[in-house]
Amino acid sequence: MMENRLPDYIDHIQQAATDARSFVEGLSRNDFLADRRTQQAVLMSLIVIGEAATKVMDAYGEFSRMHTNVPWRSMRNMRNRMAHGYFDINLEVVWETVQEWLPELLEQLPAVRQSAEMSQKTE
């Protein structure tokens, strides 16, 4: 099995963020709060994002420190809360994350992905 490379982790984050955004497309906040299936799908996406961010921080610490505009720690912390505090998940925060935070993250990622490619070439 080929080991994941830094660009792959960035791709996982981008894909999961794109998925989460598409799951809520056309939904109002109230629709989302009433739709358990969509909530589960979004939560899974956020867990994937946090998992990949954790891998970047652990395996490519220097890279994550170079890209301080990316909220690596917030992604990891959210994943930990989702995975371990399952019954205490605040769906308002989840909704806000998908609406406000993910679009910003998706804007940052192409440049970060490019940087990840470059850093892999120099290793």
**What angle, rounded to 10 degrees, do the helices at 72-84 and 36-59 form?**
130
Domain assignment present for residue 123? The answer is: no
Average pLDDT over residues 14-29: 98
Domain assignment present for residue 121? The answer is: no
- Rounded to whole angstroms, the Cα distance separating 123 from 118 reads 9
- Rounded to whole angstroms, the Cα distance separating 54 from 48 reads 10
pLDDT confidence band for 1 (50 / 70 / 90) = very low
Query: Is this structure's pTM higher than 0.95?
Result: no
Domain assignment present for residue 36? The answer is: yes
The domain of 72 spans 6-114
Domain assignment present for residue 122? The answer is: no
Q: How far is CA 101 from CA 107, 117, 120, 122, in A?
A: 10, 24, 27, 31
Q: Are 78 and 50 in contact (CB under 8 A)?
A: yes
Angle CA 87–89–92, to nearest 5 = 145
Supply the pLDDT for residue 42.
96
Domain assignment present for residue 58? The answer is: yes
pLDDT confidence band for 123 (50 / 70 / 90) = low
Supply the pLDDT for residue 38.
97
Supply the pLDDT for residue 80.
85
- Rounded to whole angstroms, the Cα distance separating 74 from 52 reads 12
Domain assignment present for residue 120? The answer is: no
User: Catalytic residues, which ones?
Assistant: 79, 84
pLDDT tens by residue, 22-81:
999 999 999 999 999 999 999 999 999 999 999 999 999 999 999 999 999 999 998 888
Domain assignment present for residue 119? The answer is: no
Q: How many domains does the chain have?
A: 1
Tokens of 48: 């994937």
